[in-house]
Chain A
Amino acid sequence: MQARRLKTAVAIAAVAALAVGAAGCAESERDGDSGEAKTGGTFIFAGAGDPKNFDPIFNDDGESFRPVRQMFDTLVSHKPGTAELQGGLAESWEHDPDGKVWTFKLRQGVKFHDGTPFNAAAVCFNFDRWYNMKGAAAQSQMIYYMDTFGGFAKNEAEGAGESIYNKCEAKDDGTAVLTLNKYKGAFPGAFALTSLSIASPEALTKYDANTVKQNGDSFEYSAFATTNPVGTGPFTFGGWDKAKNEITLNRNPDYFGEKAKVDKMIIKVIKDESTRKQELRAGTVQGIDFPAPADRKALESEGFQVVNRPAFNILYLGINQKNPKLKDLRVRQAIAYALNRQQLVQTKGPGGAKVADEFMPDTVLGYAPDVQKYEYNPDKAKQLLKEAGAEGLTLNFYYPPDVSRPYMPNPQEIFTVLANDLQAVGIKVNGVPRPWNGGFKDDVQQFGKHDLHILGWTGDYNDPGNFVGTFFGRGKAEFGDQSMNEMFDAITKADATVDDAGKKAAWEQVNRDIAAKWLPAVPVWHAPPAIVVTKDVKGLVASPLTDERFNTVSVSK
């Protein structure tokens, strides 16, 4: 254990770099620049929180996905830097006209980290594993699976629907055929979900991956999830030193795609954003995620590369129509007109933020260029309020003071500014702060105690259903009105449309109607989260989905 020091490691890495260099050059390079970069060395990246564990299916947050994405691959993947789909473990895929039978042509010669082969049987093993998962503890952790497939062979949750998964067949080694009971707009985008990454069947079995033990009021995960995750990705699992908050990933020399340029990647967990920045400056980490918006300019001027991810999120001001006054469209429109969103973006938006007119970014299919826009117009707001007889309205505005989300770096300030705007047109605002995990989401999403609230969403894949469908696809306490059936029906129909042109048209109409007719909430902004690396780091491609794979990254020194 001794004398394996950082410096020694770097020296060894340098030697290794020379040896591996030749092999590295043979690889197809995505761009000419990264071809010149030396391989080897260690890339240290500061994340913002602890991962939960490393079993993709039991995770649903970015901090857990960051290491998982380096170790696992999905059937379908994203073109680097975009939300567009491309082949992953499946080279190509096709579906029948109903969208129920999906045939995947798999990449050949791929091996899991444990040396077992990746093939159609392995794919089906994973699908069957998810579908047949037993126990409330395990099922309750499979958020994305539930999102996509809707249910299990045997549901633990009362009221959970029937699964749309039917079966998976390995036609031959290279062809997996997935049969669904019903088409859903989420496909094929959902096949690129990190949660649905393909893991080694042997390791899953050996390390007892399906056992999630409930111990009192918490869960204990299997050895697969905590110490032995095995996938096909460009890095293999090295270890998680919890005393030092470091996750070590080692280069996978047998990776089927572009092999990792560095020998080792360390993910260091630093929860405080200003500390992440300070570590970057001190040179102890080469990259950080989610810098504070206020620090981006300074970091840039100091020579760091501040990369804005294309915004793939939305912040909205939700309106609860349980309040009869807010059931009047004119009052909701008055609220929209009252907000000076342009000024909010200018004064508090992170670099690159844009005022939002729709509930999804314009890169998503079905974004309508011609929806009704609500430019800042306090006079019109006052007039609308007067027409609706809602002058002197008092509203309870819920906000979470203690959280920072990529779409909402500082809710306290956003609330204060928005509330100020509303006061200016004569709406009395009663601010109700609730801790993010201490009742905010419960009060807003479950009990609907609020009149107004701010909340948002980061997209999982390029599909309007993932945005608009999630928010307004069914009656929710969050927006109060359970009877906006016209809206729910329109969204259900759009989501069930299989052909692309029809889908696009249907979603565009939904977006137009949401803005003009329904206005269940006011879209506020799209705010790009950033990632910062030092000058020496090359080849980083920031993803709108925060789906960064660090195999292309090299560190020159």
Chain B
Amino acid sequence: MSDPITQAGTPAPRPGDDKPRPGMSERSIGLLGDRKKARLDELARAGVDQGGVSLVRDAVRRLRRNPVAIVGAVIVGLFVLMAIFAPLIAPHDAVQRFDELTKNLTVDTIPGASGDFPLGSDPLGRDFLSRMIYGARQTLFVGVLATLIGLALGVLIGAIAGAFGGWVDVVLMRLTDVMLALPSLLLAITLVAMASRSSQWTVIFAVAIVSVPIFARLLRGSMLAQRESDHVLAARALGVKERNIVLRHMLPNSLTAVIVQATLTFAVAILDAAALSFLGLGDPDINRAEWGLMLGVDGQRYFEVRPELAYYPALAIIVVALGFTLLGEAMREAIDPKNRR
């Protein structure tokens, strides 16, 4: 559906600027999805412009003064807390069917709020409130894993490309170019269709793959920027092994930009997971309480019987996606050298 790197908040290439900029240079009239790449390269460089530690300290200081960041952080924090403590907060089990609820349940009536069940029933006679609360957990799970898998693969590809350069770099980057060129949801749909069996993992994986080229590009850019930087040159001069330079010096310094991107990716991941559910290509196990699944399947099917089944998961998804986007963008702004004066 949406793609973080083409989305809002992308600082525009500035016309009339004298410095050569990747989005504008002649070189850029190159291959697929150049603008995306340009953005990523810019972000990659931003992360390593200065030494790692002071940059982070700087950024955190700026973040603390930014109300947008605070709102984002609060939303994300609450969401994570709810996910972790779901069993303590939720009044009931998320998959248990209750006789009190099934008693009055038919295919066209779903019982509403009653004493023990403040949000009433779901379509199978389970406690809707508990499912919403447990939903935070599953949603976090899907989002985090999708992001992590995307990140891990992206980092692997990007690090290898960035560390070795040469033809390895060319081949790997050509691969990510092709992936960047495909519309993200279409890529995810294709992957799900191409999976031999559908499960929660196909969804996670499909959503993750979409972000792989983004992370790879980002990391590679950042590594390349560091290859010639002072601290790497110094380390090399001191005879530190190449492997250690990559692992101890280059990788950690690149991570700031990657974390920012991961935060933004998370929002997209849960939106894409919901979209897949809506298309009937999502997680097939409706026992699992996950917001995207609840919205895409039950919310759609019982929209007229009980619209709350759609409204609440939708609201939850919107708020959480918003939270991560706000936080991510605030972080991006904070590490942007442009704002560091």
Contacts and interface: CB of A to CB of B under 8 A. Distances in A.
Verify whether A and B have any Cβ pair under 8 Å.
yes
B275 to A, nearest CB: 15
A475 interface: no
Contacts of A349: 107
Contacts of A416: 124, 286-287
Interface stretch (B249-257, B264-272, B300-308, B324-332): B300-308
Given A431-B285, A433-B198, A293 B297 contact: no
B108 interface: yes
Chain B: interface size category: 20 to 34
A434 B197 contact: yes
Given A294-B305, A347-B105, A401-B284, 18 more contacts: A274-B300, A294-B107, A294-B108, A294-B301, A296-B108, A297-B108, A343-B102, A347-B106, A401-B198, A402-B198, A412-B284, A412-B286, A413-B123, A416-B287, A420-B97, A433-B198, A433-B199, A438-B198
A350 interface: yes
B280 interface: yes
A554 B302 CA distance: 32
A143 interface: no
Name which of B124, B284, B285 has the most chain A CB atoms within 10 A of its CB: B284
A369 interface: no
Contacts of B199: 433
A293 B300 contact: no
A435 interface: yes
Interface of B: 97, 102, 105-109, 123-125, 196-199, 280-281, 284-287, 297, 300-305
Contacts of A439: 196-197
Q: Which 7 A-B pairs have the closest CB atoms?
A: A433-B284, A401-B284, A297-B108, A293-B107, A347-B105, A412-B286, A402-B280
Contacts of B107: 293-294, 347-351
A292 interface: yes
Contacts of A22: none
A417 B304 CA distance: 22
Given A274-B300, A292-B301, A435 B198 contact: yes
A163 interface: no
Given A295-B108, A439-B197, A417 B124 contact: yes
Interface of A: 274, 292-298, 343, 346-351, 401-402, 410, 412-413, 416-417, 420, 431, 433-435, 438-439
26 contacts: A292-B301, A294-B305, A295-B108, A296-B108, A297-B109, A298-B304, A346-B105, A347-B105, A348-B107, A348-B124, A349-B107, A350-B107, A401-B198, A401-B280, A402-B284, A412-B286, A413-B124, A416-B286, A416-B287, A431-B285, A431-B287, A433-B197, A433-B199, A433-B285, A438-B198, A439-B196
B287 to A, nearest CB: 6
A201 B21 CA distance: 74
B104 to A, nearest CB: 9
Name which of B102, B105, B107, B302 has the most chain A CB atoms within 10 A of its CB: B107
Contacts of A293: 107-108
A348 B305 CA distance: 13
Contacts of A295: 108, 304
A167 B302 CA distance: 55
A295 B304 CA distance: 8
A401 to B, nearest CB: 4
B198 A347 contact: no
Contacts of B286: 401, 412-413, 416
Contacts of B197: 433-434, 439
Contacts of A292: 301
A347 B303 contact: no
A373 B300 CA distance: 37
Contacts, number: 69
A401 B284 CA distance: 6
B108 A298 contact: yes
A555 B106 CA distance: 33
Contact of A347 (B125, B280, B302): B125
Contacts of A297: 108-109
B124 A294 contact: no
A166 to B, nearest CB: 46
Contacts of B300: 274
B108 A347 contact: no
Contacts of B304: 294-295, 298
Contacts of B302: 294
Contacts of B297: 412
A199 to B, nearest CB: 37
B284 A347 contact: no
A413 B123 CA distance: 9
Contacts of B303: 274
A38 B124 CA distance: 46
Contacts of B198: 401-402, 433-435, 438
B284 A346 contact: no
Name which of A294, A402, A413, A439 has the most chain B CB atoms within 10 A of its CB: A294
A435 B283 CA distance: 11
A205 B305 CA distance: 53
Contact of B102 (A347, A410, A433): A347
A294 to B, nearest CB: 5
A533 B198 CA distance: 37
Nearest to A297: B108
Contacts of A296: 108
Contacts of B108: 293-298, 351
A401 B200 CA distance: 13
A526 to B, nearest CB: 15
A399 to B, nearest CB: 8
Contacts of A346: 105-106
B301 A410 contact: yes
Contacts of A413: 123-124, 286
Contacts of A438: 198
A193 to B, nearest CB: 32
A102 B53 CA distance: 93
A515 B221 CA distance: 69
A410 B280 CA distance: 12
Contacts of A274: 300-301, 303
A346 B104 CA distance: 9
Nearest to A272: B300
B202 to A, nearest CB: 10
Contacts of A402: 198, 280-281, 284
B199 to A, nearest CB: 7
Nearest to A431: B285
Nearest to A277: B304
A450 to B, nearest CB: 13
Contacts of A401: 198, 280, 284, 286
Nearest to B279: A402
A293 B107 CA distance: 7
A297 B198 CA distance: 33
B298 to A, nearest CB: 9
Nearest to A349: B107
B299 to A, nearest CB: 12
A293 B303 CA distance: 13
Contacts of B280: 401-402
Nearest to A348: B107
Contacts of B281: 402
A520 to B, nearest CB: 26
Nearest to B199: A433
Nearest to B101: A347
A292 B284 CA distance: 19
A434 B301 CA distance: 20
Contacts of B305: 294, 298
